[in-house]
Structure formats: structure tokens, C-alpha cells
Amino acid sequence: MREKAFFLALLGVNTLLLVLQIKGLSISYNEAKILYGDFSLLQSFLNLSLNILGHNDYALRLPMILLHLVSVILLYAISQFYVKRDRDRLWIILIYVLLPGVTSAALVVDNAGLVIASLFLFSYLYLRYEKYALGLLPFLLMVDPAFAYLFFAVALYGMYRKDYLFIGIGSGLLLVSMRLYGIHVGGLPESRFLDALGVYAAIFSPIVFLYLFYVLYRRFFAKEWDLIWMIASSAFLVSLLLSFRQKVEVQTFAPFLLIALPLAAQTFFHTYRIRLREFRGRYRVLFYSAFIILILNVMAVFYNQWFYRFIKNPTHHFSYPMHVAKELSQVIHHNKIRCIDAGNDKLQLRLRFYGITQCQSYRLENMRTSNGKKVTISYKNIPVYVTYVTKVNK
């Protein structure tokens, strides 16, 4: 009972921290493309939220936070199949919510949050009901093209188990997915292997990523090949193989590696507890080092605006694509302007979310003009964007 109370408290604190971050974020160009682009399941969720809660940043990002909370609850349920102690399950959840990639997926409007929640749902249903979980797979086909790697893992697992049901469903859905979405393998051979590993390390933090890799490697030689291991290891291996020839969108593969967290926790706690207390020191150092790095990473995300003080070119800031637009729209609205030519298609689409349409009555200029009004957007008293609002004389 006490552990469940801690779990709910952790869930509440995590939700509060995420909601508090929304105020400092603007819609990015990629997010605007999802909202105003071709139809998708995520777009439907966003429009439903915007229709209910109004056209604002909170309504835009709350669906992602809700998907994140669903993922956390599902991971907590999945963990019971790998660790016996409720306290260990809490540690898994704490590590999970502190992962840099998970924090980003909980705030950034992207299919990653939907993929993670859907993948965790399938994993839980499989661990609980086994073959009955396969009934969910056809629905996942419509969620995201990335689930082709899940179908591939299901087919491989079927071959390993000599289970024709898994082979048939996995192979069939894989072929349908490739027919619908295709798969790009091309370009001249160029090694992006180290780049891919670097992105993985950034998403998971270096120590956690290395330990996940170690666990997958160790279970391979121990032949502990359950479906969860197969999903994580096959997607990871495919991403590395592709990286030898082309640039890989690691964000597409990372959700499949997240499901290996309970496996890593099971291995760590078992290895830790079979040793006498005096021989557990290096494991404690490993755990606390990883935990400290995760805390620092989360603080860097939550307090990212302070980094503008140390960056000469603000556009090099990792969060710059999610800044400026909201503050700029507020200044434009304050001047009783409802439409403007941003001179930039990406910025124009972002301003659309804040009620600024495109017209030729006003325009944004990079250089000072005789009748232009200077607008400066600053964070922590550091100017990061300067433009001039100019009325066009016809």
C-alpha cells in the first residue's frame, strides 16, 4: 500500500512539473505540420483537446502528457513480471520519467508518445494474456509506420519458438506495413554508426544506454530470448545496421529500446543482491552515477532558457525551435495586428496556431526600416530574436 502511495505521488509530481513547462514553450514547425498537415491519429487527439479546452498551448500538449501518464502506468504494470518487489518497480518508474527522451516525448507533439504508449500496451497484454495480445497488432498498423519493427520482432520470435501463429501474423503485417508505408534503404555507404550511438546516449543518458546494451548482449548469449527482449534487440540491431549506410532517425527506434528497462532492472537487482554487502559498492556507484546524470539532464531540459547566456548564436540552442513564436504573436496581437507576412514559411505556420494569419498588410523584416517597429524577444534578459514589424504602404 505504501509503495502504491509513493507511485501515485511520483505520478502527480511528474505531471505537475510537465504542466509547468508548457508556459515556456511555443509550437514548433514540426508540431504545426502535425496539427495542420495530413490526417493522423495523433492529429485527431490534438483537435479533440483543442476543441474541448480551447486553442492554447495547454490544450496542445496535454494529450502528450496524458499519453505519457498512460505509458508510466503500463510500465509499472509490466514491471511486475520482471521484479518481485514493489520498491524495485518504483525505481524503474523513477528512472523512466527522468530519461531525457521520455521527458521530451511527454512535452513535444510527436508520434513518439503515441508509439510508446501503444507499444507498452501491447507488451502488457502479451505478458498478461500471451497470444490474445496479437489481436492488437492490426490496429497498431494504423498508428505509425515504426510498428513495422514490432511486426518484424513478432515474426522472429515466432521462428525462434516455432510458433506459426506468431510467424504468420508478424510476417503478414510486416508485408502490409511495407506496402503501405515503404522502407527507405539507400544512399552511398557512409558510416553514421557513431552518430546513432551518440543520439541513443542523449536520449537515454550514457550510463543507462550502455547498461541497456549490456543487458541485451548478456541475454543474447544466455539465450533468455522472450518477446520483450526480441522487440528491443531487433529494433536496436536494425537501427545500427542501417546506420552503416545512411542517417538513421534514432527517435523512431528508441521507443522499442525503452521496453527493455524492466529487463535491465531485473538483471541489475539480481546481480546486486546475490553479492555480499561489502561487494556491492561498484553497483551502488553505477546506480547513483546514472541517477545523478539523469537529474542533471532533466534540470537542463526544465531550465533550458538559462543556456542562452552561454551560447553566442541563440539558434544553436537545442530548444530554440520551440521558442519565440508565442512571444512574437503576443507582441503582434498587442499592436492590434491580426495578419502579417512572416517572410518565412515555417514561422508563418507557427504563428497560425496563435491566431496570426498571412496577409500583405504587415510584414516582418530582418533589417531596420524607416517605419518598422523593433521587436525583441528575450529569455532571462538575453535577446534571442530581433525583428521589425513594418506596415506595407500600398
Sheet holding 362-365, edge to edge: 362-365, 382-391, 372-379
Q: Which string of DSSP letters, residue by residue, matches 254-303?
A: HHHHHTTHHHHHHHHHHHHHTS-GGG-HHHHHHHHHHHHHHHHHHHHHHT
Q: What is the CA radius of gyration of the chain?
A: 23
Q: 3-state DSSP call for residue 304?
A: helix
Residue 320: half-sphere exposure toward Cβ, Cα within 13 Å: 15
pLDDT, residue 383, reads: 93
**What confidence tens digit (pLDDT) does each residue in 250-307 have?**
889 999 999 999 999 999 998 888 887 888 888 889 888 998 999 998 898 889 999 9
Quote the mean pLDDT of the chain. 91
pLDDT, residue 261, reads: 95
Q: Name the percent of the chain lying above pLDDT 70.
A: 97
Give the length of the chain: 394
How much is the pTM? Answer: 0.93
- Whether 50 shows a pLDDT value over 60: the answer reads yes
**What confidence tens digit (pLDDT) does each residue in 244-256 have?**
877 888 889 999 9
Confidence of residue 73 (pLDDT cuts 50, 70, 90): very high
- Whether 187 shows a pLDDT value over 60: the answer reads no
Distance, CA of 236 to CA of 230 (rounded, Å): 10
pLDDT, residue 49, reads: 96
Contact criterion met (CB below 8 Å) for 264 and 91: no
**What confidence tens digit (pLDDT) does each residue in 81-115 have?**
999 898 999 999 999 999 999 999 999 999 999 99
**What confidence tens digit (pLDDT) does each residue in 334-392 have?**
999 999 999 899 999 999 999 999 998 999 998 887 778 899 999 988 999 999 999 88
Q: Is the dihedral of CA 119, 124, 125, 127 positive or negative?
A: positive
pLDDT, residue 190, reads: 65
pLDDT, residue 354, reads: 96
**What confidence tens digit (pLDDT) does each residue in 55-68 have?**
999 999 999 999 99
pLDDT, residue 191, reads: 67
pLDDT, residue 4, reads: 85
Residue 366 amino acid letter: N
Helix, strand, coil distribution of the chain in percent, nearest 5: 70, 5, 25
